[in-house]
Structure 1
Amino acid sequence: MNDPRAPGGSSANDMLRVLVVSHGHPNLSLGGAEVASYNLHQGLKSIPGAQSFFLARVGEDYPGHGRSALMGAEDADDELLYHADDYDPFLISNRNTADIRKDLRRLVRTLHPDVVHFHHFLGLGLEALYTVREALPNAAILVTFHEFLPLCHHHGQMVKTEGLKLCETASPISCHGCFPEIAPGAFLRRKQFIQSMLGLADAYISPSRFLADRYVQWGLPADNFSIIENGLNVSEKAEPRKLTGSRNRRSKFAFFGQMTPYKGVDILIDAVQRIPESVWGDDASLTIFGGNLGRQPEPFRKKIASLLEKAEDRVRFAGSYQNKDMPALMRQVDWVMMPSIWWENSPVIIQEAFFHGRPLICSDIGGMAEKVRNGIDGLHFRAASPEDLADRMIEILSNQGQWEHLHKGIQPPKTHLDTAQEHLNLYRAVIANRRVPRVELSGDLQQSA
């Protein structure tokens, strides 16, 4: 895997035109990948040597133009929206290849970027890579991975559909086990199609080594991968919470994120209600900052309701939040909880917690275990085990020196400017070393399983 810090063959004074492509705009669809891609765009605009443009996909909930899939973004000359809603989630494919051939091709030929960097293709379709390569054979194409969507049809989580157990390997047979209505041969054709589209890229980026290793195991070349952490674009830092009450403890826990089965909020609530009253006391609390519970499957909603009834007033909901609210929210808490039952990659909440000096308690798997150093800047617990998580929380509440020790071990996360410079170095290296691929670019973009 490559070192993105190594400068490429171009002079640092050469201006590179970069098009950053995302599956959503953070002003319209707030998520980790949307924020990461937009932060990169803003970072590239702020450092010497790059001119950046941002293209974000919008879907059926956003009104489109009748004649073009392209639309301007409000109050931003260098940001564009691309309307795409005819999407095949199995193939990660856009059925509307006419708009791709007409509007996306016209856009990239007009902008003529040196680099096209896909931060995601969800909703947009892998055919976008094909069109960019066809329209700009000499441009460098890069892809950043945020989860396992090309590997896993189960929302890219690498979690079994039955029992939500962790999945170690993606294969046609194992995928057929999760989706018996889809034949193994269809999963094989899916893999071949997706790998052929990803093969048009010159380089791949992963924010965690864990995620990159999974893609290499799946079949992508290791030499094409670079590890670059997503940069954080935050200026206001929250000071440590002022301690009050007779116990004078660091006893305020918080969960930030969507309330889905994969995020493990049920594990967290279960753990809280297991802690003895003598340890929990009247000063401890868990606050859940997040939403979308109403969109989850009914069995999960019922499970949460039952757990909340047992936890009583130990847990409170604060609803969804915006990024701008984070400093104020962090001032209310001491510990950030990440009980995800899937591998995760590099959740932005880890960087946000570290920026504000809050230790994390997280599952001991995947990108979480890679980013949070057990006993140094946070604590691990056995994934999907409310018993083990309860034990960690009991240790914390019983040992007030723990927070100060972990707080001192936190290293400041990378800023969006740091990350933009690493990306710019990688772009130059890719351009200096790439050879224009000999690819047959004829026929219909659409493939079928």
Structure 2
Amino acid sequence: MKVALFVHCFFPEHFYGTETYTLGLAKHLQSFGHEVTVVAGVFQGEPRREAIVTHSSYDGVPVITIDKNYEPHTRVRETYVHEAMRPHLTAVLRELSPDVVHVTHLINHTAVLLEVAKDLGLPLVATLTDFFGFCYNNKLEASDGSLCAGPDRWRSNCIACHLRAAASGGEPRARRLAGIPHGWRLGGLALRAAEAFGWPRIAGADAIVPDIVERPEVLARTYECYDAMIAPTQFLRDAYVRNGFSEPRLSLSRFGIDIDRTPKPARAPHAPLTFGFIGQIAAHKGTSLIVRAARAMPPGSVRLIIYGPEDQDKEYMGSLLEAAGPETEFRGTFKPERMADVLAEMDVLAIPSTWYENSPLVLLNALATHTPVLVSDVQGLTEFIEEGRDGWSFRRGDLADLTRVMGKLAADPAAVRAASANTSYERTTRSMASEVEAIYDRLVNSRPKR
């Protein structure tokens, strides 16, 4: 069958978890005999392509790219429903004439894609890789940094997240709220009330508030176009159900990993315990927490190796360099095929994220290479480990608790290294792709022949 895989961005410029999942799925579907094309986006502000729609290939997979620089969004609503994308998406789908459309992220394409596919009578599948379907910032992190359950009745918490983002971008009215206790939340309530009572001088005349307020309902309605939705964790599946999405259409299918599963090499008896961090160097990834915790360890007891792009947030990176001690090394990025070698050097992989991670592939790669993990106590991470056997957890965002757990591990490196024998993850991308293929077969075979 012909499969169109839609993703927000793709290799070689973008290479994180969703892109890696999409590439792995595409390669295996090809090996099963299917004709697969990836349709990716270019974010507005990135280097402009020679045309709005271009054709290329990556690692043997045909790629169609739609450049948002030609159709930039100009208001909040267009970040989730962008009517200007409709003719381009229609043209791409008519060109491909797929048997199945599978969306691994809607950003850049927006929910218009779902309407176009449904109008063309195409079966629609989603892999839910984050909380885009109901969360304004995709991360389920509230404006005060606490974890969020989803939009409240008035959507004032979503407006508060917008105010926080606007302040970080330099918007002066939003920045004034930063010094007020609970300022983001109060600002969100005030703007929502102003919009509800028709006070445009307070709410603003640029439709930001109604665009934010309407977002959950609009996406919930358009997500009804999906014939099947795949969640890689129980936590993410439950979060969508709690926020009103159709439970019968949601299935649990964990990500697969293809990596060298050779046992770890032996360590010198008195070698310091080596912790590692792999990923975006950003505040929501908790990079500063692991750097500061490592600095607090007894001299010579630990090493910390950090891999990630150092130019993503130069101000944040500068603060890390200032906080880091001699035990910490920043090594930049590496090619994906080196993942097993990089993890082989680590005794423990740290994932100190401050938001709800959702089965990050780096976690699964670590477990598959017999690398125990140290993670924040959020369910999208902890549901993959058995505490004390193949991993350890600490209170999310709590530097003191992370330092305590890290110190306990550093005091007994032999026990930590012995945990490697208990650490594994056997699921492969081939078995994952086989489950996805079965979903395609069910949907295609249940429809009248076109």
TM-score bracket relative to the smaller structure: 0.7 to 0.9
Q: Describe the SS at the equivalent of 1:414.
A: coil
| Structure-2 residue corresponding to 1:161 | 143
Using the alignment, how far apart are the partners of 1:313 and 1:421 within structure 2? 47
User: Does the Cα contact within 8 Å between 1:46 and 1:417 map onto a contact in 2?
Assistant: no
Q: 1:83 aligns with which of 42, 64, 67?
A: 67
Change (3 A) 1:238 1:83: farther
Change (3 A) 1:76 1:158: same
Q: What is the correspondence of 1:68-217 to structure 2 with a 5 Å cutoff? A: 68-73=52-57, 76=60, 78-85=62-69, 86-87=72-73, 90-91=76-77, 93=79, 97-98=83-84, 100-101=86-87, 103-135=88-120, 137=121, 139-154=122-137, 156-162=138-144, 164-171=145-152, 172-178=155-161, 179=163, 180=187, 183=192, 185-217=210-242
User: Does the Cα contact within 8 Å between 1:353 and 1:360 map onto a contact in 2?
Assistant: yes
Using the alignment, how far apart are the partners of 2:35 and 2:247 within structure 1? 29
The question of 1:369 aligning with 2:382 is answered yes
Using the alignment, how far apart are the partners of 1:145 and 1:92 within structure 2? 20
Q: 1:243 aligns with which of 243, 267, 271?
A: 267
Q: 2:258 aligns with which of 230, 233, 237?
A: 233
User: What per-residue deviation string (whole Å, max 9, x for no partner) do you get for residues 118-143 of structure 1?
Assistant: 000112222111112112x1x21011
Deviation at 1:331, TM superposition (A): 2.7
Deviates more, 1:194-203 or 1:167-176: 167-176
The question of 1:221 aligning with 2:246 is answered yes
| Structure-1 residue corresponding to 2:289 | 267
Gaps of 5+ in 2: 164-186, 193-208
User: Does the Cα contact within 8 Å between 1:57 and 1:123 map onto a contact in 2?
Assistant: yes
| Structure-2 residue corresponding to 1:57 | 41
User: Does the Cα contact within 8 Å between 2:134 and 2:215 map onto a contact in 1?
Assistant: no
The question of 1:422 aligning with 2:435 is answered yes
User: What per-residue deviation string (whole Å, max 9, x for no partner) do you get for residues 187-214 of structure 1?
Assistant: 3311122122212111111111101111
Change (3 A) 1:384 1:77: closer
TM-score by length of 1: 0.82
Q: 1:252 aligns with which of 256, 268, 274?
A: 274
Aligned residue pairs total: 402
Using the alignment, how far apart are the partners of 1:88 and 1:376 within structure 2? 50
TM-score by length of 2: 0.82
Using the alignment, how far apart are the partners of 1:388 and 1:100 within structure 2? 49
| Structure-2 residue corresponding to 1:444 | none
Using the alignment, how far apart are the partners of 1:34 and 1:403 within structure 2? 32
Q: What is the correspondence of 1:334-413 to structure 2 with a 5 Å cutoff? A: 334-413=347-426
Using the alignment, how far apart are the partners of 1:29 and 1:294 within structure 2? 12
User: What per-residue deviation string (whole Å, max 9, x for no partner) do you get for residues 255-290 of structure 1?
Assistant: 001111111111112222222x2xxx5252111111
Q: What is the correspondence of 1:283-298 to structure 2 with a 5 Å cutoff? A: 284-292=302-310, 295=313, 298=315
Deviation at 1:423, TM superposition (A): 0.3
Using the alignment, how far apart are the partners of 1:426 and 1:364 within structure 2? 32
Change (3 A) 1:387 1:74: closer
Using the alignment, how far apart are the partners of 1:152 and 1:273 within structure 2? 35
User: What per-residue deviation string (whole Å, max 9, x for no partner) do you get for residues 86-140 of structure 1?
Assistant: 1368336377645531x322332232222100000112222111112112x1x21
Using the alignment, how far apart are the partners of 2:256 and 2:411 within structure 1? 35
Using the alignment, how far apart are the partners of 1:255 and 1:89 within structure 2? 36
Using the alignment, how far apart are the partners of 2:74 and 2:262 within structure 1? 43
Change (3 A) 1:28 1:293: closer
User: Does the Cα contact within 8 Å between 1:90 and 1:190 map onto a contact in 2?
Assistant: no
| Structure-1 residue corresponding to 2:177 | none
Deviation at 1:229, TM superposition (A): 1.7
User: What per-residue deviation string (whole Å, max 9, x for no partner) do you get for residues 350-379 of structure 1?
Assistant: 111122111111011131011222223211
Change (3 A) 1:324 1:237: same
User: What per-residue deviation string (whole Å, max 9, x for no partner) do you get for residues 32-73 of structure 1?
Assistant: 11111111111111125x33222222234344344x524233
Q: 2:24 aligns with which of 25, 39, 46?
A: 39
Gaps of 5+ in 1: 1-15, 437-449
Change (3 A) 1:207 1:95: closer
Deviates more, 1:382-391 or 1:340-349: 382-391
Using the alignment, how far apart are the partners of 2:82 and 2:148 within structure 1? 32
User: What per-residue deviation string (whole Å, max 9, x for no partner) do you get for residues 216-255 of structure 1?
Assistant: 1111111110111222233x446524423x6246x11110
| Structure-2 residue corresponding to 1:446 | none
Q: Look up the equivalent residue of 2:160 and give its one-letter code.
A: G
Using the alignment, how far apart are the partners of 2:422 and 2:396 within structure 1? 23
User: What per-residue deviation string (whole Å, max 9, x for no partner) do you get for residues 317-365 of structure 1?
Assistant: 1112221222232232211011001111010101111221111110111
User: What per-residue deviation string (whole Å, max 9, x for no partner) do you get for residues 162-189 of structure 1?
Assistant: 3x22223322132233333663654331
Q: Which has the higher contact order (CA 8 A, sep 6+)?
A: 1
